[in-house]
Structure 1
């Protein structure tokens, strides 16, 4: 990692600690760091014990095997932030010898950053194994690494089933594809992601879903699920244009305003444009969907059609979908700026690709663990922040007659 990236990550971590703990002195800062390290070490030791015994806690095998869990022992380890008390799992016959933090080892200050890196960046089993070998000088199997990282699965399951807010002002949906290896063959899987903006202007990823393809039927199941988890109303839904998605969303949320993404329409239309004309073509389009008023938009569109008449296929894309362009001008400029594109959720997928680009995953859980860890990192960055210019967005929502009552209902 370059020096500048390390500095950026250090600054981000410092900001989060300051916001969440509000330390007033050096001692407060050290206590905040200790709060982070202790649970991480304990979670990894529980994974080690699972691997040692060959089954998880509360598994039926617990009752039929001679060697079982036998509570916890206390241990104080020395870190660069001071001493941290942790609970170390024990087994009945005393054969469990922790490898991550050996019995006589108390100083673990050299590995803290590496442990955080493994959990926060969603490293592959191979990379985690290599990191542990680099730290301790011994190798561990991929199965053991899987056991250790499986400790996040209960958190993932709880996160997937958690209750959601009753209202989201804006929701953005999109799919990305990644590869899962099934024995000797690999298959592309669609990762469905929903990003919501709450009425308070905070970002939230509502959930992750996997399917072998992207389809309107799967999207309908997902919308039905989030409704069951507490979502009563969605004001605006930005989509990429999957066939049937608009109708499916309205079947679950009848009052939702569905907006086609302008960026996707651009991508669809430039298929009919020679590459030498891309720049001029997209510049002319920006004058259409970025016009200050509907009148200016209509005028720009007429000029656009005349200027690019040679590329009728491209013009047809915009003609068929022009109602979604006109719809933008039913709302104020601050609202238009939020709803006109799905770039917000595509940015999330861009972050996902950083941890999925290394190759195929052995199963769905392996993929979901990595994505969940990435989500926790993203949401820690978003915590306490608001969408840019959110106050103006709210003012414009309240000025709109059809939305005012719905907004006030959820502000109370």
Structure 2
């Protein structure tokens, strides 16, 4: 619905000689202040019996005759309004409440921009250029600090008893600590429940990535109500499997095939890279584990002498690399890599790429949390082919999967 008919709008533009965006913003700011003042005066007249003529003379509106000025922030900058003081305590204003200094969702805007990865300076410039509002870095920090209780509540929320598949991986950032810049790991856990819905179960900040810290993450999950995990998908971090077994001894572990390939080609010379990568493919695309082992033997026959470390790595990790062979193609596709959590990481990278260094752990956690909330809003549907996957899970874990 239009606020003004087209002819009145054209007359308004003509009367105010509006030619540029700056002219529009300036005029709207003045109009906002005048409208707010009129609304306040009307409210005072209705509630307290003040007549407009009692405060119409701007020159006499000051603290000596019982009026005080109040500055509020609007979408068009700061505006100043006059408020009679002698009877103000007799009612609660509805237009501009007592002690209110903001009349817009400016805090929501700051948090929204922060969640998109905008720096403090970028947020300052944006608000100044678009709305004519000057905000300090301290204000921005104070506003974003208000989400810390929300993060704490989210991080400690109870979780479901059973998760069908859980993906665990870390993403690394540079953070200032004690005057030095060090590498920090953000430990991420993405879970798929028995209904087929994805969720981020938590974010933990620690120094470097270690199996010991992952053990504390797993312990936290158990303390928050996760009693069973059917399958956990991880990379090849040393000691990870032992940490999982300590908390969830029945859980099957699937090591990421892509991580295994990346680790394998570290030993390969550039001239052999394409040939070795192609030779590895038949192993993990084989229809059965037996067929995959035959392909591994074939790979060893061709490349074993030249690259023995590749063979050793695949054989040492085989039990947890080959987990996916026992399942149907739909479930195999879901678990044989950590692509699901890496896709989530890519969304986080889009937001954090403008921050080469975070001033502290809290700053990093705030940005990761806000970015995660944006990601979760898009995770509305079930995992593809979930009906077939759930049927497989009920067959393989009959005592642990109970379908309602």
User: What TM-score bracket applies, with the shorter chain setting the length?
Assistant: 0.7 to 0.9
Aligned runs of 1:184-333 on 2, under 5 Å?
A: 184-309=179-304, 310-333=306-329
Decide which of 122, 132, 149 is 2:127's aligned counterpart.
132
CA distance in 1, matches of 2:364, 2:234: 24
In 2 relative to 1, CA 136–232 (structure 1 residues): closer, same or farther, beyond 3 Å?
A: same
The answer for the alignment partner of 1:372 in structure 2 is: 369
Contact 1:122 1:371 in 2 (8 A): no
Contact 2:160 2:225 in 1 (8 A): yes
**Corresponding position: 1:362 with 2:359:** yes
**For 1:291, what is the secondary structure of its paired residue?**
coil
In 2 relative to 1, CA 228–95 (structure 1 residues): closer, same or farther, beyond 3 Å?
A: farther
CA distance in 2, matches of 1:95, 1:168: 58
The answer for the alignment partner of 1:404 in structure 2 is: 398
Report how many residues are paired.
317
In the TM superposition, residue 328 of structure 1 has moved relative to its aligned partner by 2.4
CA distance in 2, matches of 1:375, 1:315: 39
**For 1:178, what is the secondary structure of its paired residue?**
strand
In 2 relative to 1, CA 145–245 (structure 1 residues): closer, same or farther, beyond 3 Å?
A: same
Contact 1:271 1:314 in 2 (8 A): no
CA distance in 2, matches of 1:250, 1:220: 10
In 2 relative to 1, CA 156–114 (structure 1 residues): closer, same or farther, beyond 3 Å?
A: closer
The answer for the alignment partner of 1:87 in structure 2 is: none
Q: Which structure has the larger Rg? A: 2
TM-score for both structures, normalised by structure 2: 0.72
Unaligned runs of 5+ in 2: 2-35, 37-66, 82-94, 96-102
Aligned runs of 1:130-209 on 2, under 5 Å?
A: 130-182=125-177, 184-209=179-204
**For 2:356, what is the secondary structure of its paired residue?**
coil
Q: Deviations over 1:145-194 (max 9, x none)?
A: 11122222221111111111111100111111101123532111111000
In 2 relative to 1, CA 381–312 (structure 1 residues): closer, same or farther, beyond 3 Å?
A: same
CA distance in 2, matches of 1:142, 1:119: 12
CA distance in 2, matches of 1:173, 1:330: 21
Unaligned runs of 5+ in 1: 1-25, 27-74, 76-92
**For 2:226, what is the secondary structure of its paired residue?**
coil
**For 1:349, what is the secondary structure of its paired residue?**
helix
Contact 1:114 1:131 in 2 (8 A): no
The answer for the alignment partner of 2:25 in structure 1 is: none
CA distance in 1, matches of 2:68, 2:188: 45
Q: Deviations over 1:46-94 (max 9, x none)?
A: xxxxxxxxxxxxxxxxxxxxxxxxxxxxx9xxxxxxxxxxxxxxxxx98
**For 1:386, what is the secondary structure of its paired residue?**
coil
**For 1:407, what is the secondary structure of its paired residue?**
coil
CA distance in 2, matches of 1:178, 1:164: 27
Contact 1:122 1:373 in 2 (8 A): no
CA distance in 2, matches of 1:312, 1:363: 44
Calculate the aligned-residue CA RMSD, in Å: 2.9
In the TM superposition, residue 351 of structure 1 has moved relative to its aligned partner by 1.8
In the TM superposition, residue 119 of structure 1 has moved relative to its aligned partner by 5.1
CA distance in 1, matches of 2:365, 2:325: 39
Q: Deviations over 1:215-260 (max 9, x none)?
A: 2221111111111111111000111122222111111112111111
In the TM superposition, residue 265 of structure 1 has moved relative to its aligned partner by 0.7
CA distance in 2, matches of 1:235, 1:113: 40
Aligned runs of 1:66-105 on 2, under 5 Å?
A: 97-99=71-73, 101=75, 102-103=78-79
CA distance in 2, matches of 1:228, 1:304: 45
TM-score for both structures, normalised by structure 1: 0.71
